[in-house]
Amino acid sequence: MSSKILIIGACGQIGTELTTKLREIHGVNNVIASDINTRNLDLVNSGPFEIIDAKNYNAIKDCCKSNTIKTVYLMAALLSATGEKYPMEAWDLNMNSLFHVLNLAKQKTIDKVFWPSSIAVFGPTTPRESTPQHTICEPTTVYGITKQVGERWCEYYHEKYDVDVRSIRYPGIISHKAMPGGGTTDYAVEIYHDAIKKGNYECFLSENTSLPMMFMEDAIKATTDLMQVPSESLSIRSSYNLSAISFTPKDIFESIKKQLPEFSISYKPDFRQAIADSWPSSIDDTMARKDWNWKESFDLETMTTEMLTQLKKKYNS
Ligand SMILES: NC(=O)c1ccc[n+]([C@@H]2O[C@H](COP(=O)([O-])OP(=O)(O)OC[C@H]3O[C@@H](n4cnc5c(N)ncnc54)[C@H](O)[C@@H]3O)[C@@H](O)[C@H]2O)c1
């Protein structure tokens, strides 16, 4: 029997598109999608799917053993804005799910793990411009704390138990398929939907808040490329800095307005402004470019064109 892949939290913003790409690469039946619910019916019906709670070690282990799963992508998490509302739930889910998967790799039930970290590992004391790979990390959100601690555990399991775990500090991810799940960069997705649907957008961040962002196609390519690189090429086992574009709400508004001249915006910052203010505005990802030849394809203008084209199709059909 050939070895297979399990995606935990496959129905989310990134998992949905990651599942599709991995099935293109490895074949539909070699990629098992799983989530705690079946809300995303398109994904659920697109190939093998199981209900798995990421906090349930036995459920993950049973699925891995019965399907000869050798690689796990752990995408389930509570994100930054939701984590501030439910701090203990964020800690419980984000940490325990990671331990379950790392322990399965330690016991050699599985061979390889992908676990996403985030720019949320950084904090107000981190250098904000061109944030280096190795720098001060004093996160001020529960989500950021779980990602920082998770990174330490990933490196520890690699060093002590030879676990092949790979990770990226994703910036804010922008996509047109599944909606984002409660992060601070969600505005950069919502703005495109409202531009098409309503012609105006009320932004929960202030106009000059610059944050690192990336179009989904680039994020998926980075993820699948990182997982295919020979293990010995990788020098970072905590999590790789990764960057593509940095922009403010004003920049994205102006980019949309070039194509939709009637579009208008207003700004009403809420609790997410403080989270955004604690994060970097741009990222130095030299290590990712050097170790596995990372290079982005989309800039703000090409991303805007693609987002508006796809969303117009979606809302017109
Ligand atoms: N989207 C971004 O901009 C971004 C940026 C940085 C890092 N990340 C990281 O990437 C990963 C995926 O993010 P996303 O944006 O797709 O998140 P999302 O919130 O859109 O999706 C998470 C998925 O996990 C599922 N889930 C929740 N609790 C679960 C449980 N107990 N068991 C199984 N599944 C459960 C949800 O149903 C959902 O489908 C997360 O680790 C996140 O921290 C995302």
- For 154-205, the DSSP string reads HHHHHHHH--EEE-EEE-EEE-SSSPP-S-TTTHHHHHHHHHHHTSEEEESS
Q: In this structure, what token pair is assigned to residue 87?
A: 């701090």
From ligand 1's centre to the CA of 79, what distance in Å?
A: 7
Q: Do domains 4-172+214-241 and 174-213+245-316 have the same CATH topology?
A: no
* 247, amino acid identity: F
From ligand 1's centre to the CA of 141, what distance in Å?
A: 16
Each residue of 92-138: pLDDT tens digit?
Answer: 999 999 999 999 999 999 999 999 999 999 999 999 999 999 999 99
Each residue of 167-208: pLDDT tens digit?
Answer: 999 999 999 998 998 999 999 999 999 999 999 999 999 999
Q: For residue 104, how far is the Cα from the chain centroid?
A: 22
Mutation choice for ligand 1 from 6, 11, 13, CB with most ligand atoms inside 8 A:
13
Q: Across all residues in the chain, what is the average pLDDT?
A: 97
Mutation choice for ligand 1 from 14, 44, 57, 215, CB with most ligand atoms inside 8 A:
14
Q: In this structure, what token pair is assigned to residue 253?
A: 């508004």
Report the distance separating Cα 5 and Cα 149, nearest Å: 25
State the pairing for strand pair 245-247/117-118.
unpaired
pLDDT at res. 2: 58
- For domain 174-213+245-316, which architecture applies? Alpha-Beta Complex (3.90)
pLDDT at res. 1: 45
* 168, amino acid identity: I
- For domain 4-172+214-241, which architecture applies? 3-Layer(aba) Sandwich (3.40)
User: Sorting pLDDT into bands at 50, 70 and 90, what band is 61?
Assistant: very high
State the pairing for strand pair 245-247/211-215.
antiparallel
Residue among 73, 143, 170, 192 flagged as catalytic: 143
Show Cβ contacts of residue 161 under 8 Å, excluding neighbours closer than 6 positions: 105, 106
pLDDT at res. 239: 98
Q: Where are the domains of the chain?
A: 4-172+214-241, 174-213+245-316
Report the distance separating Cα 246 and Cα 232, nearest Å: 31
In percent, the amount of the chain with pLDDT more than 70 equals: 99
Atom index in ligand 1 nearest the CA of residue 185 equals 3
Cβ of 260 below 6 Å from ligand 1: no
Is residue 79 within 8 A of residue 181, CB to CB? The reply is: yes
Q: Distance of CA 216 to CAs 13, 21, 40, 98, 277, Å?
A: 9, 11, 18, 23, 23
From ligand 1's centre to the CA of 114, what distance in Å?
A: 13
Atom index in ligand 1 nearest the CA of residue 117 equals 7
Is residue 172 within 8 A of residue 143, CB to CB? The reply is: no
What single string gives the DSSP state of each residue in 126-156?
S--SSB-SS------SHHHHHHHHHHHHHHH
Atom index in ligand 1 nearest the CA of residue 120 equals 6
Each residue of 82-99: pLDDT tens digit?
Answer: 999 999 999 999 999 999
Q: In this structure, what token pair is assigned to residue 139?
A: 């996160």
First-last CA distance in the chain: 42
Each residue of 22-36: pLDDT tens digit?
Answer: 999 999 999 999 999
- For 280, counting Cβ atoms within 10 Å of its Cβ (0-12 exposed, 13-18 middle, 19+ buried), the class is buried
pLDDT at res. 39: 87
* 233: pLDDT strictly greater than 50: yes
* 252: pLDDT strictly greater than 60: yes
From ligand 1's centre to the CA of 260, what distance in Å?
A: 31
The average pLDDT across 296-312 equals: 98
Cβ of 212 below 6 Å from ligand 1: no
Is residue 255 within 8 A of residue 300, CB to CB? The reply is: yes
Whether 315 is a known active-site residue: answer no
What single string gives the DSSP state of each residue in 242-280?
--SEEE-HHHHHHHHHHH-TT-EEEE---THHHHHHTS-
